[in-house]
Structures are given as C-alpha cells and as structure tokens.
Structure 1
Amino acid sequence: MIGMDVMPQQPPQSPEPSRPPLDASDFSGASALSTFSDPASQDGLPPLSLRTTLRRAVLGAVAGAVLVTGAVVAVPDDGKKAAPPPLPGPVSRALAATAAGSPASLSDLTALLGDRQQWVGTHPSDARSWAVLGTAYVEWARRSADAAYYERAEQALKRSLDVRPGENGNTAAWVGLTALASARHDFGTAKKWGETVRARQPEQWTVYPALIEAYAGLGDHKSVKTAVERFTALRAGVPALMQTAGMYRERGWREDALANAQKAADLAGTPAQKAECLALLGELAWERGEPEEAVAQHSAALRTDRAHHPSLAGRARALVALGRTDEARRDYRAALAYLPRPEYMLELGELYESLGQDGEAAGQYARLRETLAQEAVQGVDNALLRGRFEADHGDPDTAVELLDGEWARQHRSAAVADALGWARYRSGDPSAALEYAARAVDTGGRNASYAYHLGVIQKAVRDYGPARRNLEEALRTNPQFSPLAGPAAQEALDDLTAPPAGG
C-alpha cells in the first residue's frame, strides 16, 4: 500500500466503474461534498503534470481497489442473519468526514475526486455531482498548493449552476463558490456568496467556515464572532471548537484559544482531524515563544497523519528558533516538495539569508515570484504576501501600491494593516505608516511581528518611549519570531536603551 504522503499533483481517475450518486441522507449533516449528482466532461481543464502522469496509474489502481472494497454489500447468511456491514471505502469516508465538518485524508480525497470525475464524464446533467466535484477541487487545491485546481473548481461549480440554478435549490454550488472565493483570498466575493446562502438557508452550517474566513480577511471582527457563535450552535463539536480557538487566537486571548484547541484535539475522531488540532496547538506554542513545545506538537501531528505537510513547515519554523537550522532546512524542503506554498518559500529564503547563504536565498525568492505569478493567473489574490516580500526584499513602493489596493478593496485585517504600515515605512514615509501599524497591534492580538514593526516606526518618528515598549513586547512575546527581524528587533531596542555618548 502506498503511504499517504506520496500524493499526485493530479488526482487519479478511478479505473473501476463509478458508483451512482450518493445521497446526502446517507451521512450526518449537509455539505457541498455530500450533495452531488452528475458532472460532465473535463474538456478544457488544466493538463496533467509529468509527475502526475508517472504516478497516476499506480494511485488509480489503489483507489480502484479500495472503491471496490467500499462498494461491497452485505448479504444474508442462510437467509436469516445479515453479515456485518463492510468497512467504509475511501469515497464514503471522505464524504462522511466532510458531512461532519472535518478534513478527509488526502488518500480518501483522491479517491473521491477520481470517483466523481468518472461519474460526471458519463452523467453531464447531475448538478449535485458537479457541486461536490467543484468543492472537492477547492479542497485539493488548498491541500496540494496547486492553484490550477481553482480553475477546475470554478468550471465545475458553474456547470452545476447551469444545470440547476442556486435559486432552484442548488445551495451546494453556492457553498462551493464561497469556499472557492475564500481560498483565492477574494473575501468580498466570499462574503457575498456566503451571506446569500445564509439568507436563504439559515441552517446551512457548511457555509460558515468559509464565511468566517472571509469576515476575518475583511477585518470584520464583530461578524466573525457572530458567525462563530452561529456555527457552534448549528454544529457543535471539533470543527466549532477549532473555529472558536482561531477566533480567540486572532484576538490574542491565548488561554482561551489553547483551551479550545486542546479540547478539540482530545475529541478528534480521525487522524486527519487530530493532526489539524495538534498543528494548531503547535502554532499557538510558537506564537507564545515556546519553540520546544511547538516542535513537539507538530511532530505529534506528523506521527498522527504523515500527510499533514503544513506541520513540516511549522516544525521547521520552531527549529530555527532553537538554532537547529540544518533540521529546519530539511523540514522546509520536505514541506515544499509536497506543498509548495509561497509563504514557505519566503520563510526558507529568509532563513538562508540569515545564514549568509545569499545564493540559496535568491533562488527561493525567484521561485516565490514565479509561484505568485502562476497563482495570479489562476485568480488567487496574493497581494498581502507579495507586499510583505516586496517591502523587505524587493521594491517597497510596489509593496505600498499593492497593499493600498487591498485596503481599497476593504481587505482590512490586522495582517494587511501591519503589512501596509511596514511598506510605507520601508518606502520612506514613517509618519504615514504609524496609523496602520498601530491599528495592527490594536486589533491583531499579541503578535511579535506587529509589535516589532510598530516599535521601529515609532523610533523613526522619535516617539521613543512607546517604541521601546513595543520592541520589548515583541521580544517578550517571541524572541525568535523571525531569523531576520528577531535580531533586528533586539538591535533596535539596544540602540534605544544604550547610554548617550559621554555617559
């Protein structure tokens, strides 16, 4: 059996005859992935990668085998006693996980995609199956960092709505469009679709995770709180606990975030769900300046689910703080091999730069630029990440232009405020930067990077007392928050606290 961490960039087609549409009533709860019917041909979709072509046959055979296993039907024994029901196959497991609001394993998600791709090829008028396929493509794109699948998702969801408009009951396609827009960081569009679903079907809990993400991206903390509370009322359990923990994390309420994340980890029912919870515990430990605990939690996540590749990057971040840079580079490279997210490229590039390995750093930055350009073609808005990169490693004026555009689009989260303030400072306008940096610290919880940026900007405008306090706060919160900015924060603080010349 192939390990779950060996995944294709293109989910395989199932070689076996595809099962008929699965009914949402077979699972607990309603979800876009558990309400599908009949998608169509795959004409015009992105071509297969070479890596995919080489692995597709092997993975397809595995998926086909487990699909057959999952389709076994129990028959009566001697006409009296029914045999025990078979274990669920990967498609059923993927749908059951989604119906419960939990992540499916990557291998089960692969099987689901292969199953639905084949089904829609021969049943092009099944709106429900188009909706589930499109939503599954969104999930695959997120978890493989292959933005080409966003285009596939958009095509499938539009096909679903062509067959059956949302106004005629095709809510699952609208939920999928909410998830797609949020994944592309188009938070205004995600809000529009999500609120449309909520207005028509207030009990449709599946829309809330993407809607909460959209509100957070827009900096609408009041709506985040309301949506989290409503989601919890509709679907209490591990997913609601994770959303609550995330909300408290953004506010800087560490104890509350930790309590909810720990409870979620204790209640998690599948390896994929458990790994998500442990990874959040690792992130919380990192943010409060406890790298040893962060390494332990991310390692536990990887032992639970080897395919939880974000934990490789999370562990690498903590290993840098512990001075274990060889291990950190190993984990970053492994994370990027499976999950080539541009933020990991930036982090690895900055690690190389901090070690004086300028050639390797330049290589990561070039790869980052290429990836951002590719994702832009697929409709992904990476202005925040690109703005952060340009401010420190490229053209600060370009960073200001990009982030001003985000602000004008109402993308006013603490992260955008912090990045815009820092970009304005780096472009030579600390007075204009101050308002945004202060807003980030006021609304972004206890974030060491935000406090560092505000402290440096205050120092530039000669507001020395507050500058000293914010630099101290940054280093007290997480003294190793960045391999480049951490030492710079200490240097800035030392400069403020040094005795004047002459004693």
Structure 2
Amino acid sequence: METDTSSAPESPRKRRARRRRRVLIASAAGCAVLGGVLVLLPRERAEAPAAAPAPPRPAPGPKAHKRGPVTAGVPAALPDLVALIGEREAHLRGHPRDAPSWALLGSAYVERGRQTADAAYYPKAEKALRTSLKVGSPGNAPALEGLAALAVARRDFAAAKRWGESAREAAPKRWTTHAVLVDAYTGLGDREAVGRALDRLLELRPGTPAVRARAAAVYRDLGWREDAAAQISDAVAEAGAPAERAAYLEQAGRLAFERGDRDGALRSFREALLADPGQRAAQAGLGRTLAALGRTDEAVDAYRAALAGSPRPEYALELGELYESLDLGREARAQYELLREQVRRAEAGGADEELVLGRFEADHGDPWSAVRRLRAEWERQPATAVADALGWALHRAGEHGEALEYAEIATDATYGGGVRSALYAFHRGMIERALGHDGRAWRRLTEALQLNPYFSPLLAPVARRALAELGEPSEQGPPLP
C-alpha cells in the first residue's frame, strides 16, 4: 500500500479558526472514540444543516475551561472526562430523549473504562449507546460508531467491524468512523481493508495530528519503521492540548523502544508524563525502558504507578516477568495472580483478554490451556499478534512443526506479518532451533537482538544463551523471509 501523506503545514491562524468551529458539549453534533481517546466532532457541512446564529454567550467559567480539551477533537485527559460524564449524566436526568447526549455519554464511558482499565464502564457504555439508538433518528452514526469503539475496547473486532461499517454507511464522510474501522480490520488481520480505511481517512483529514498518529500505527504494523517514526514525530509537533501531545509521545516512545532506542524511548515517555501525569501507558513504557537500562528499582516503581491507575493484565505480566528475571519468585507469582484477577474483572465487563491470558499460560502456566484459548482466538480474529502467540504456545506444548506454521504467519510479510518485532523473531528462532534448523535459528535469533537487544528482561538473555550454544553457522544459508 502506497499512500501520499504529505500536506502543507497549517498556519496558526487557520488552526485557531478550525478550533473555533468545534461544537460545544451543549450542542454536540457527534462523538467518537478515536484510537482509544474520546473526541468530539465538528459539524460536517455535507451531513448536517447549518445552525442558526447562536446568541451571545457569557464568558466561559471554570467548568468550560475543564471541558476545553475534550471538545477540541483531541485526546481527553481523565479529569476532563470525569467532568464531562458528570455533566452529561445530570443533563440526561432532565432530558432523557436527547440522543446525541446519550451517544456522547456512552463514548465517554468507553474511554473512561479504557483509560482506567475498569471494564465495569463497558456495560454502562453499551446501555447508553443503545439508548441513543432507541431514542434517536435512523442512521444514528455517533451511537453506531460508539458501539464500534466499545467493541474495539472489548477486543471484539468482528462486532467492531459490523458496527463500524453501519456507521460508515450512515455517514460516509464521518472521518473518525474510518479510524475505528482501521482498528477493527487490524484486529481481524485484514490488511487490505486496513489499507482502504486508512486511505479514506487520509483523504478526509490529511495532515491532522490524530490521523498522522493512526497512520504511524498502520505503518508500524507493515514494518515501515521510518515512515511510522516520521508520522508520529509530526503528530507530536502539531499536537495542541497536553493530553493530546502526551498520547502521541507515548506512541513515539513505544516505537523508539521497539527499535532498541532506550534513550529516545526514555525521553518520549518522560515528556508524555510531564504533559499528562495520568498517562498510564507512558508510565508502563517508562518501566519497560528503565528495566532495559538496568534501573530495575525505578522500573518497578513505574510499573506500580501504571498498575495503580490502570490495572491492565499486560502490565502485570510485564512486571511479573521483570521480577522473575531478578529471581524474585514470590513477587512474580503475586503479579501473575493479579493478572488472573484482572482478566476475570475484564471478562465480567464483556472484554476479551484471551490473547494476554494465552501468552501468560504459555510461559508461566499451562501451555495446552494456552493452545486451546489461542486456537479459539485465531478462529475469531486471526491477527498477527494471535498467530505469534499461538505459535509460541504450540512450541511450549511440544508441537514444534505446527508452531512453525503460525510463527511464519507472524513474521513473513507474505502472510501479513510485516511488523519488525524482536519478540516474534525470537519466538520463531527458538521454534526453528527445536526443529533442528540451526542455521535459520541462529539468523532469526540474531535478528531479534539486532532489532531490540532489550526486548524482554526475561527472554533476551535466553536468546543470547541460545545463540552462544548454537555457535556461528558455517554457511550463510538462504536469506530470511
């Protein structure tokens, strides 16, 4: 897929004028959850009648200032999100047939659940969004899109596709719908559909920071590291509100860490936390990076802070593996038990955490349980990450031949595995070693450590030991796919 993402920089005057055209909460034309962040949309001239001139408004008070970042079409800080939820709940008690407000409230619940890793907000979100559909007009695009975003948050990508395509049919030029569809198609492993959705997104909103960030994520999955880094760098530079800038800095930090750039990752994560101290993903990224730098006490503190504000199973898994790498078995087991509890709570809210649970079981529990879970996940939504996890689980269960089939899907661009992941390369290298393909195993493990020598405090040392035991192959052999 080749997409022209170039656009002339927007002048400050034009940018200010565009921001002034955003709607206020009291007359919200729509809302969405874009890439895991709540946004409100400007009115689309092609899809909504022109509004009558508004009467003069009083000067904004403190509550209006709190709403500012939420209503500007950018990632929402948690305090603004809490204020928005409280305001909409109060409004709806007196106006129970206000469909746009129900859609806005539902999408705000989705985002609050995502930010805090509290899946209890997801049933509330679903109820609000379905109420919006019930009391609203046919083709209620904000509610349909909100249900698609809810399905993405729950990792139900087939449902996200259905709701998202319904929203697209209702409002083809609603740009955030195409962003949610990028997430849905990515989760289903449909590269062609991802490309089409991104192309349409770039047509509708070329050069805007939110779209650049979405393009960076797609380019990363395709293995286009330089393009991804350029897009997210531009998004950071053009971001407005602190929470928006923090979200893009966190994404930049993840990309830097995947390249093995510890210093760049550290800078990005720290800047993200300076912009928005509630950026829990940046705190987890900081923990990951500090561990790679050998500053393990600081890394533990960062992970604990991330878990305190957003108790995600993947953070508990990472911290548990850090403890395990330090021979702190009791502390590691405590994190693994926390992971199981977090998964149970997420499932109670309708979320699918089979991928992270399968990864955990493969390395720290019952590999055959991991195989069963991940086979079912692969049938539901065959994404690259699931192929990698299933291949590794099969290897851990002793089924090395079948494991290689899935490892190839995860790492060979021919099958869609274009992402340049040290973990995926490590998994394939260890599987090839178990099959006696020593030359290929040596090259794949070397690739893993070249991509990121610090990809895991627990597994990177395993890769180095395996390479030492293999020794350098006598023949170069065929190039890696």
Q: Shorter-chain TM-score category?
A: 0.7 to 0.9
Segments of structure 1 that go 5 or more residues without pairing to the other structure are 1-19, 37-71, 75-83
1:458-477 to 2 correspondences below 5 Å: 458-477=432-451
Q: What is the Cα deviation at residue 412 of structure 1?
A: 1.4
Contact 1:91 1:115 in 2 (8 A): no
Contact 1:93 1:104 in 2 (8 A): no
Contact 2:30 2:104 in 1 (8 A): no
CA distance in 1, matches of 2:165, 2:437: 43
Residue 492 of structure 1 is matched in structure 2 by 466
Residue 360 of structure 1 is matched in structure 2 by 331
CA distance in 2, matches of 1:161, 1:21: 19
Give the 3 Å change call, closer, same or farther, for CA 35–177 of structure 1 in structure 2: farther
Residue 389 of structure 1 is matched in structure 2 by 360
CA distance in 2, matches of 1:353, 1:404: 27
1:443-462 to 2 correspondences below 5 Å: 443-462=417-436
1:354-433 to 2 correspondences below 5 Å: 354-409=325-380, 411-433=381-403
Contact 2:269 2:283 in 1 (8 A): yes
Which amino acid in the other structure matches residue 217 of structure 1?
Answer: G
Is the partner of 1:381 in helix, strand or coil? coil
Give the 3 Å change call, closer, same or farther, for CA 399–90 of structure 1 in structure 2: farther
Q: Deviations over 1:189-228 (max 9, x none)?
A: 0001111111232101121222111111111111111111
2:452 aligned with 1:482:
no
Contact 2:371 2:390 in 1 (8 A): yes
2:136 aligned with 1:164:
yes
Contact 2:358 2:373 in 1 (8 A): yes
CA distance in 2, matches of 1:172, 1:26: 5
CA distance in 2, matches of 1:311, 1:184: 21
Contact 1:90 1:107 in 2 (8 A): no
Is the partner of 2:75 in helix, strand or coil? coil
Q: Radius of gyration: which is bigger?
A: 1
Q: What is the Cα deviation at residue 313 of structure 1?
A: 0.6
Residue 262 of structure 2 is matched in structure 1 by 291
Residue 24 of structure 1 is matched in structure 2 by 28
Is the partner of 1:323 in helix, strand or coil? coil
Residue 121 of structure 2 is matched in structure 1 by 149
CA distance in 2, matches of 1:109, 1:377: 23
Structure 1 residue corresponding to 2:64, chosen from 80, 84, 89:
89
Residue 268 of structure 1 is matched in structure 2 by 239
Structure 2 residue corresponding to 1:228, chosen from 198, 223, 230:
198
Which amino acid in the other structure matches residue 475 of structure 1?
Answer: L
Contact 2:139 2:167 in 1 (8 A): no
Which amino acid in the other structure matches residue 127 of structure 2?
Answer: Q
Contact 1:22 1:34 in 2 (8 A): no
Which amino acid in the other structure matches residue 351 of structure 1?
Answer: L
CA distance in 2, matches of 1:296, 1:427: 40
Q: What is the Cα deviation at residue 292 of structure 1?
A: 1.7
Give the 3 Å change call, closer, same or farther, for CA 427–131 of structure 1 in structure 2: same
Segments of structure 2 that go 5 or more residues without pairing to the other structure are 1-23, 44-55, 475-481
Which amino acid in the other structure matches residue 471 of structure 1?
Answer: L
Q: What is the Cα deviation at residue 347 of structure 1?
A: 0.3
Q: What is the Cα deviation at residue 342 of structure 1?
A: 0.9
Q: What is the Cα deviation at residue 282 of structure 1?
A: 0.8
Residue 66 of structure 1 is matched in structure 2 by none
Is the partner of 1:482 in helix, strand or coil? coil
Contact 1:309 1:339 in 2 (8 A): yes
Residue 188 of structure 1 is matched in structure 2 by 158
CA distance in 2, matches of 1:143, 1:230: 28
Q: What is the Cα deviation at residue 480 of structure 1?
A: 1.1
Identity %: 48
Q: What is the Cα deviation at residue 374 of structure 1?
A: 1.2
CA distance in 2, matches of 1:448, 1:437: 13
1:242-257 to 2 correspondences below 5 Å: 242-257=213-228
Is the partner of 1:22 in helix, strand or coil? helix
CA distance in 2, matches of 1:335, 1:268: 24
Q: What is the Cα deviation at residue 148 of structure 1?
A: 0.2
178-187 or 302-311, which deviates more: 302-311
Is the partner of 1:124 in helix, strand or coil? coil
Q: Deviations over 1:46-74 (max 9, x none)?
A: xxxxxxxxxxxxxxxxxxxxxxxxxx943
1:289-328 to 2 correspondences below 5 Å: 289-328=260-299
CA distance in 2, matches of 1:360, 1:315: 20
**Runs of 4+ displaced beyond 3 Å:** 24-27, 30-36, 84-88
Scaled by the length of structure 2, the TM-score of the pair is 0.85
Q: Deviations over 1:216-268 (max 9, x none)?
A: 11111111111112112112300110011111111111110111111111101
152-161 or 361-370, which deviates more: 152-161
Residue 186 of structure 2 is matched in structure 1 by 216
Residue 321 of structure 2 is matched in structure 1 by 350
Which amino acid in the other structure matches residue 170 of structure 2?
Answer: R
CA distance in 2, matches of 1:336, 1:253: 31
Which amino acid in the other structure matches residue 470 of structure 1?
Answer: R
Is the partner of 1:436 in helix, strand or coil? helix
281-290 or 489-498, which deviates more: 489-498
CA distance in 1, matches of 2:127, 2:216: 34
Contact 1:231 1:240 in 2 (8 A): yes
84-93 or 417-426, which deviates more: 84-93
Residue 49 of structure 2 is matched in structure 1 by none
Residue 304 of structure 2 is matched in structure 1 by 333
Q: What is the Cα deviation at residue 94 of structure 1?
A: 4.6
CA distance in 2, matches of 1:421, 1:412: 12
Give the 3 Å change call, closer, same or farther, for CA 212–120 of structure 1 in structure 2: same
Q: What is the Cα deviation at residue 310 of structure 1?
A: 1.2
CA distance in 2, matches of 1:229, 1:87: 40
Contact 1:354 1:484 in 2 (8 A): yes
CA distance in 2, matches of 1:323, 1:452: 21
474-483 or 155-164, which deviates more: 155-164
